[in-house]
Structures are given as C-alpha cells and as structure tokens.
Amino acid sequence: MTSEVTVRWLGTNAWEIASGGTTVLVDPYLSRTYTGATVPGQFNPDTPITVDEAAVDASVSVADSILVTHAHFDHIADVPYIAGKTGATVLGTETHLNLLRAMGTPDAQLSQVGGGELYQFDGYTVEVFRSSHGVSGKHKTLLFPGTRPGAVPERPQVIRDLVEGGSLAYLVTFGEVSLFFNGLPSFHEREVAGVRPTVLFMQGPNPNYPDYVERMLAATGFPPYIVPTHWDDYEAPLEEPAVDHFGAAKLGELVAAASPESEWVLLDHLESHTFGG
C-alpha cells in the first residue's frame, strides 16, 4: 500500500508534511512580520527580527525535522523558537546553522548539509540538492547576499542580518510518495535532472531565468502533481485568504501548457492535501 502523506501550507514557503505520526517542516515561518516588502518603495531592511510565538503556536506543535532552504528572514526567523519547542533536527548550510546558533537554537539539533546528502530518518528519507536563490534587475542582484562561515556571528537584530547563505532544495520521501521542494525561482538543472518526484513544489516564473518552468518540469520528469509555493503576500495575516503576489496564476498557465498530464494543486493558507494512500 502506498504511503499516505498530507501537506499543509503555512504561507510563504512554509510547509508541514505529515505521515504515519511523523512531521517534517520546510522553512516554517509564521510570524509574517511587516517589512513593507510587498509594497513598492516601502521595504525596510532594518526591520527588527521578531517572532510571533502565538502565531507559531497556533499552527505548529510538533516536528521531527526542519529543512531550511536559505537564511532570509521569511524562511528562518521562526526556526530557533520552533526547534527549541519541538526538539527537531534542523538541516541547513554552515551559514544557516551559524545564524541559527546566534539566535539561540540548540547546537545539538543542528545538522550541516551542502547538497548531495541522502539521510535515512525514522520512516522517511531526505535528499539534499544545491540550489540558487532568485535574482532581480539588470545586474542580477541577490537580496541580502553573503555567508557566515567559521565562528558564530553576533546575534542578528534586523532582517538584513539574515543573509542568504547558500540555497538548498530537498527531496522528502515516505515510502512511494516523494516530494521535491524547490521554493526558489531557480535551480541547478544538471543536478536535478533524473529526479522523479510524486509532487513538485515550485515558485512562479522569474524573468531572469529563461524557460524556468518548462526546464524544471522536464528535468523532474513532468511530475504527477505540481504545487505552487511562496506566491502569497507573506506579510498579510495567515488567517486571511492568500493574495497572489508572486505569479501563481501565471505559473498555473505555464504548467498546464508544458505538462498537461500533471495535476495542479493550489492550496490556500492553512489548507491541506493528501497524496498517496
């Protein structure tokens, strides 16, 4: 019998994966701090890092593993709190983990990865892939670039302190159901080629990456299910319906044209969908 895996969207690129009493979280960010990022000309990189513990507690109670794709605030700001309350193993690059250490994450729970790892956990596996964060503009600039190797830095205070630190993608497999999380508008095509997930989580198209959607679908074998991620206004309340800020509708059109046999699974905030079974 095929494993039954339920995913729940927690907004932004935050996902809860549950199967057989096990819970895996990807980029669990629920604080949704207002920075002005979704309003032209209003973004404040000196916004203080805050954690809305009540918002986190309302949606996250347990976790066995936490998978970090990169270290921007809307991906890791809540991870220290969640790791502390759940005891979960946290996977990330050296920079991700150093920033998490600086924010008080228990060191014993941190597992450094860089791409190429395949780990067996209790009832599931996690395979790690190198990836790349999206860039913008004529000069292909990266938001908050940089790394924090070696010594643990001073505690980050504002969101610009949370540098990207390298980007990762993950293939999470429960039995016959595999889920590939690439919550970035870029990927390492030659590394991903040959991966055949049941479910592909992907971001909308970015003009800096030619034929991104078509190439991603081809590289992953035109997966049976496609789920858009990181498409909402990630500063609006999670209790409100998601607003398409990053091109989910356009992504759906491109997926339908390039992979008509794939099922498009669009989830709203806090909605769940079960695969397999």
What pLDDT does residue 38 have?
87
- For residue 254, count other CB atoms closer than 10 A to its CB: 19
Look at the chain and report how many structural domains it folds into.
1
In the Cβ-directed half-sphere of 30, how many Cα atoms lie within 13 Å?
A: 26
Structural domain including 154 reads 4-276
Residue count of the chain, please give it.
277
Backbone angles phi, psi at 264, to 5 degrees: -90, 120
Q: What angle do CA 50, 270, 267 make, to 5 degrees?
A: 120
Q: What whole-number distance in Å separates Cα of residue 83 and Cα of residue 100?
A: 10
- How is residue 202 annotated by DSSP? E
Contact of 27 with 72, CB cutoff 8 Å: no
Is the whole-model pTM more than 0.95?
A: yes
CATH number, domain containing residue 269 = 3.60.15.10
Contacts of 243 (CB under 8 A, 6+ apart): 232, 233, 236
Cα radius of gyration (the chain) = 17
- For residue 196, count other CB atoms closer than 10 A to its CB: 13
What pLDDT does residue 1 have?
54
Q: What is the longest distance spanned by two Cα atoms in the chain?
A: 52
Backbone angles phi, psi at 70, to 5 degrees: -165, 175
* Closest listed residue to residue 156, CA positions, set 218, 220, 226, 77: 77
Q: What whole-number distance in Å separates Cα of residue 77 and Cα of residue 26?
A: 13
pLDDT in tens, the chain (277 residues): 578 999 999 999 999 999 999 999 999 999 999 999 989 999 999 999 999 999 999 999 999 999 999 999 999 999 999 999 999 999 999 999 999 999 999 999 999 999 999 999 999 999 999 999 989 999 999 899 999 999 999 999 999 999 999 999 999 999 999 999 998 889 999 999 999 999 999 999 999 999 999 999 999 999 999 999 999 999 999 999 999 999 999 999 999 999 999 999 999 999 999 999 8
**The pairing of beta strand 4-9 with beta strand 89-92:** unpaired
Q: What whole-number distance in Å separates Cα of residue 171 and Cα of residue 180?
A: 4
Q: What whole-number distance in Å separates Cα of residue 221 and Cα of residue 200?
A: 10
* Closest listed residue to residue 37, CA positions, set 246, 239, 183, 178: 246
